[in-house]
Structure 1
Amino acid sequence: MKIEKLVFLLNAEEGNPGIYDLIWELGRFNLTIEDKYKIARLVLTEILQDDLVILEKYKDFKLEEKIATIDKGEIDELLNNPFYWYPCNEILSISLTDKGSEYLDKEIPKYADKINARLSGK
């Protein structure tokens, strides 16, 4: 799960266009779609609770018009709503915090080989 956490943080650092992208990050595994959503939600919740990322709501996938930064108390309600996991609605996107950047800087060197293999699909 550590590698997936780092992959999700890298996704946030790149400026992901929606949390649905996190499901695609799990596409290399032979999992059911339900399991992919469960894992994505678990990892996403962890990095949100640890203040490594913030969750933001945008009007569209271009992330040009921000609606709100989501309060931690609203996270479960939004993640339980399938509406927000699809790119054809308002977009929930994660952004790296300063704490998340520090975490990446510290952890990436420890897992560099695994991360490179994971990102290259090997």
Structure 2
Amino acid sequence: MYHRTQLIGKWYRTEQDDSGELFTEFAEITADGHYEFTFLTHDEQDTVVQESVEIGDWGLVGDIHFTLCKSEFCEGKHYAADLADEGNYHAYRVLTLDSQVFQYQHILTNEVFILHRVIDNIALS
């Protein structure tokens, strides 16, 4: 089983689609149960063409990770999430969680995501 403290910190993932657009996610997961996910879409020249930020709550029970979206910022505009909308609730099965990699699978869609831990301080000796 996994411990929730393993998720606390900053994570990222990057993927490229068939059209050449690059998609990047930055995730900040805090000890108090909040998260902030920033999603960026880049064109072939690495210019950001779309940005959105999702804010909400998260949890981890055993090998189940879950999120509840409460708010979203798209292109600078704020949108409060409809908490009655089931699309704002997600559950995932944790496949791997260690100090460097967080791999999880959506319970309904079976889509797999792989995040890598962001290292804030790199010390050179």
State the TM-score, normalizing by the size of structure 1: 0.24
Q: What TM-score do you get using the length of structure 2 for normalisation?
A: 0.23
Larger helix fraction of residues: 1
Say which one has the larger Rg. 2
Pick 1 or 2: higher relative contact order, CA cutoff 8 A, min separation 6. Answer: 1
